[in-house]
Amino acid sequence: MKVVKVGLLGLGTVGGGTVNVLERNIEEISRRCGYQVQVVKASARNINAARICRTDAIQLTDDSNEVINDPSIQIIVELMGGHEPAKSLILEAFKQGKHVVTANKALIAVHGNELFAAAAKNNVTLAYEAAIAGGIPIVKAIREGLSANKIEWLAGIINGTGNFILTEMRNKGSAFEDVLKQAQALGYAEADPTFDVEGIDAAHKLCILASLAFGMPLNFNAVYTEGISGVTPLDVTYAEELGYRIKHLGIARQNPNGVEMRVHPTLIPEKVLIANVDGVMNAVMANGNAVGSTMYYGPGAGADATASAVVADIVDICRQLDSSASSHVPALGFLSDKLETPAIVPIMDVRTAFYLRLSVQDKPGVLAAITAILATNEISMEAVLQKEPKQQGADAQIILMTNTVTEKSLLLALNEIESLDSCNGPAIRIRVESLQEDT
């Protein structure tokens, strides 16, 4: 059987998982692609570090250029992360006619347009299934499985750390800071958790998903991003009382004014399947105008789960080695000269329903004053909860669910409400999405 030689840039968790999956399933992989896939060389910062995989058949080096410049290697797998030197190494691999597989979502989101163009120019492939949602084959699902559809919207839980934190807050009533420490102790969150809990990691992934869904160039800077550090156990509890769950969602939607791309905490009706995705699991819903709503669920990280996506890309490349890259599935699912650049809808013009929580003085007439301001701003209420103070002199809590309104209109109303003498402190507001087919 013919051999395809692979070089790894990075031999950490995912790199080790890739070696293990290739070794464990070598017969199945060969039956699928017609090649014996061999990892022959790998670069790592510390070549003497302990590994989760066997390395006796792999030449290790601390110089990534040695992997790129090996003439026997046909496929490079980039698992270094970050922008540089990963970007420069990939561009050099393209120049040498090598195909590349990457799990680097930040690199694709920020530099993907340049990298895809360079790959096409050199008649090679840049594959990136592992960059989004770990083991869920979401790139293939949207790019190929849903290619008969006009995608109307998609929404995803695409960061396992944030989902774990919100799940624990709901199940145990714990504060954000306490669950974050637990997530760090379990290895789900980094020592610096900013990328996860402030939504940057999810924004990278949403940027790619939106481009796949709508056939537009990657535009990471246009993604509105909001984290979960401000979510409190109180809001999690009140959301449950109203029949909702709070999830950290990435949402992309086409509307008559352009495309929305946003990452933020979101109330979802508990009956919607994605509202019940818990722990470190990921899920993506996509709504197509032919198929309706579909959902894709699975582990969003981990050695074997992410390696599953890496190896699937290797298999796809092997199947196409004897054909021109111009005949392959386009990188973003649309012909490169047919990509469109729609307007991006500013967050102030996005229309959603809202959950509001107000701390107010416990006296008559407060709710009437608030509802009068909302009515003046043409904002109606779908539900109201009033929570009496637990001790004398403490604030009462008023929880409101509004109808669909623009962010701009809601903020104007909130400015008036927060200026009331009876209102203590800023309002807590969280967007609400029904995620139904008619939204």
Q: What tokens does 313 get?
A: 């890309």
Q: What tokens does 88 get?
A: 């420069």
Which residues, 6 or more positions from 248, have their beta carbon under 8 angstroms from its beta carbon?
A: 157, 159, 162, 163, 166, 199, 202, 227, 228, 263, 264, 265, 266
Which residues, 6 or more positions from 391, have their beta carbon under 8 angstroms from its beta carbon?
A: none
Q: Residue 331, Cβ neighbours under 10 Å: how many?
A: 26
Q: Which of 87, 105, 140, 205 is catalytic?
A: 205
The answer to whether the bond into 71 is cis (omega within 30° of 0) is no
Nearest-CA neighbor of 117 among 83, 91, 146?
91
Treating both helix axes as pointing N-terminal to C-terminal, what angle do 105-121 and 200-214 enclose, rounded to 10 degrees?
40
For residues 259 and 436, give the distance between their C-alpha atoms in angstroms, rounded to a whole number. 18
Treating both helix axes as pointing N-terminal to C-terminal, what angle do 26-33 and 303-319 enclose, rounded to 10 degrees?
30
Q: Alpha helix locations (H) across 269-302?
A: none
Is 172 an active-site residue? no
Any idea of the CA torsion for 272, 275, 276, 281, to the nearest 10 degrees? 130
Nearest-CA neighbor of 159 among 227, 210, 110?
227
For residues 263 and 247, give the distance between their C-alpha atoms in angstroms, rounded to a whole number. 10
Any idea of the CA torsion for 234, 236, 240, 242, to the nearest 10 degrees? 70
- Beta bridge mates, 76: 7, 100
Q: Which residues are catalytic?
A: 205
